[in-house]
Amino acid sequence: MAMLVTGGTRSGKSLFAEQLAMRLGKKGIYIATSRIWDEEMAERVNKHQQSRSSGVFEWNTVEEPLDLAKLLAQQAQAAAAMASAGEQPPIVLVDCLTLWLTNVLMAAEEQAGQPGKEADEQLHRQTETLIEAIAAYPYPLVLVTNEVGAGIVPAYPMGRKFRDEAGRLNQRVAAVCDKVFLVTAGIPIELKAAAFRWEQL
C-alpha cells in the first residue's frame, strides 16, 4: 500500500510521514534522495538523522539520489523474503520525490549535454520506471513530495521546467497511491477520501 504525503516547505509533511510510518510498523527503511552540495545542506541532513536516531523506532537510512526505482524493486524482494519467513517487513519511507526529480533532471541534461528532447525523454523514462515500481510495491510505502506550483512563476527556464515536471510527477504518483495526504501548518488532510468524483454530479 503506497501513501503520498505532500505539502509546502516547513509544512510538517516529513514529520507526519515519519509518524505515519511508525504507526504502520516496528522498524523502517528511510530512503534519502538528497545530495549534499554544501555545508548548510550537510547540517540539515545531520539534524534529520539525529532526530530519527533519538526515538524508539529503528530507522535504517539508505541514500539513493538517482536509481530509486531499482532500490524499491530490491527492497520489495527483500521484504517478500522476510514475509515468507514469518517476519514483518520494514516500512519504507522515501523523502523526497522532488529532490529525486532535481537529481534526475540535472543528470539527464548533463548526460545529454544540453536541455532538449534527449534529456526530456531520459527524464520521462526514469519517471515512468519509478511510477511502475511504486505501483508494484506490495508492502507499506510512504512517499514525501513537495507542492511547488502554488507560488510565483520562476523567472528562469530551468525553474519553470522543474515546477512543471514536479506537478506532473505528483499527479502520476498520487494516481497509483492508496492514500494521499496534504499537510498544511502541521495539519494533515487525506485528499482521496475528500476528493470530488464526477459520479457525484
Task: Enumerate the active-site residues.
Answer: 48
C-alpha span between 144 and 64 (Å, rounded)? 14
Instruction: DSSP for 22-56, please give it.
Output: HHH-SEEEEEE-----SHHHHHHHHHHHHHHHTSS
Q: How many CB atoms lie within 10 A of CB 112?
A: 16
Place of cell 529503528: 58
Q: Is cis: bond before 96, omega within 30 of 0?
A: yes
- In a 3-state reduction of DSSP, which class is residue 20? helix
* Grid cell of 97 as nine digits: 520525490
